[in-house]
Amino acid sequence: MSILYPRLLPGEAERLFASFHGRKAEELARFAAIASDRAVYAASGGTRASRDQLRLLVTDLEKVASVCGFPEPPGTAAKNEFDRTVARQLHERSGMLPGEASQRQVWAFFGLVLVPHICAWRFPMKNGAYNRDRFKGTDLTRHTLARLWTRAYVLHDPTLPDPYQLLSGLGEADLDQVMSRRVAVAATPALVRAVVRAHVEDGDTGDGIPARAVHRDSLRRLLRLTAFLDLDWLSEQAILELVREQRRESRRFIAAIGVNAADLEDPTD
């Protein structure tokens, strides 16, 4: 049974977010709380998270952020370490099921009440303002924490020695390009796992072709294929073979034409 988390009502979410502008991460730590009078719970479908569970979750998140340098601005390595560790923690310890994790108001509570300082640290202000998606959950693929739970859920593979090892298979930018394709790619968890697994398998082939170029060209090819292929009818092994074949095609193509900056751009451009 799922653990149910508080859901922040839209009006309160907007009020809190507006009050954060201009405040640094360490200042927002004073706004953090484990409860809000403007939060509600789903009427049924699970057990409500207790105050102790919420405190423990906050403590875990703060420990990871501290290890990664909070409140000092995080570098690339610190961001990657934070994302991978928190993704695993949220999926392992939150007790959420996909139905609860799909609720924007749940993640609004996380970002605006529970740990606003951590969201502000991970995604700092630009021009004195924060990006609302990172706090409010208007787009769950961009919310500071929702995107991490989803990655862990999709990439979790109990057949591996470490069920979460695929979380480190792609860098942040490349994994984000996969997960943000919600209909064409991320809607099929087996396809996401196959993309990451095939990328890890390739490793350094010694042919001088950048792994990122192969990944992004093959993702273009997969995006075209998923427009008319129903992957739900394929086994996980068949999907993995499909991805491997697209990577082989990409490697041959890139070897023939060479690599330039265009090969490293967003695959939907």
List Cα–Cα distances, 256 to 4, 150, 224, 250, 259, in angstroms: 53, 37, 21, 10, 9
Q: What is the mean pLDDT of residues 202-222?
A: 84
Contact 87, 167 (CB under 8 A): yes
Q: Examine the pLDDT at 90 and tell me if it is beyond 50.
A: yes
Rounded to 5, what percent of the chain is helix, strand, coil? 60, 5, 35
List Cα–Cα distances, 238 to 184, 194, 197, 241, 243, in angstroms: 17, 10, 13, 5, 9
**Averaged pLDDT of the chain:** 91
Contact 135, 108 (CB under 8 A): yes
List Cα–Cα distances, 188 to 127, 169, 204, 217, 231, in angstroms: 37, 18, 27, 19, 8
Q: Examine the pLDDT at 26 and tell me if it is beyond 50.
A: yes
- For helices 172-179 and 189-202, angle between their N-to-C axes, nearest 10 degrees: 150
Q: What is the mean pLDDT of residues 117-144?
A: 95
Q: What is the mean pLDDT of residues 227-252?
A: 92
Q: What is the mean pLDDT of residues 91-109?
A: 96
Report the SS3 class of residue 7: strand
CA dihedral 194, 196, 200, 202 (to 10 degrees): 60
Counting runs of H as helices and runs of E as strands, what totals does the chain give? 13, 4
Contact 6, 53 (CB under 8 A): no
List Cα–Cα distances, 218 to 127, 137, 138, 198, 209, in angstroms: 36, 30, 30, 11, 13
Residue ranges of E strands in the chain: 2-4, 7-8, 39-40, 46-48
Return the amino acid letter for 133: D
Q: Examine the pLDDT at 266 and tell me if it is beyond 70.
A: no
Q: How many CA atoms lie within 13 A of 214 on its CB side?
A: 26
Q: What is the mean pLDDT of residues 33-62?
A: 95
pLDDT at 47 (0 to 100): 95
pTM: 0.90
- Dihedral of alpha carbons 186, 197, 123, 32, sign: positive
Contact 20, 120 (CB under 8 A): yes
Q: Examine the pLDDT at 232 and tell me if it is beyond 90.
A: no
C-alpha closest to that of 198 among 182, 181, 221:
221
| Range in 44-53, 55-64, 231-240, 251-260 the model is least confident about | 251-260
pLDDT at 269 (0 to 100): 40
pLDDT band at 259 (very low <50, low <70, confident <90, very high): low
Q: How many CA atoms lie within 13 A of 10 on its CB side?
A: 3
List Cα–Cα distances, 211 to 56, 184, 203, 268, in angstroms: 39, 22, 8, 18
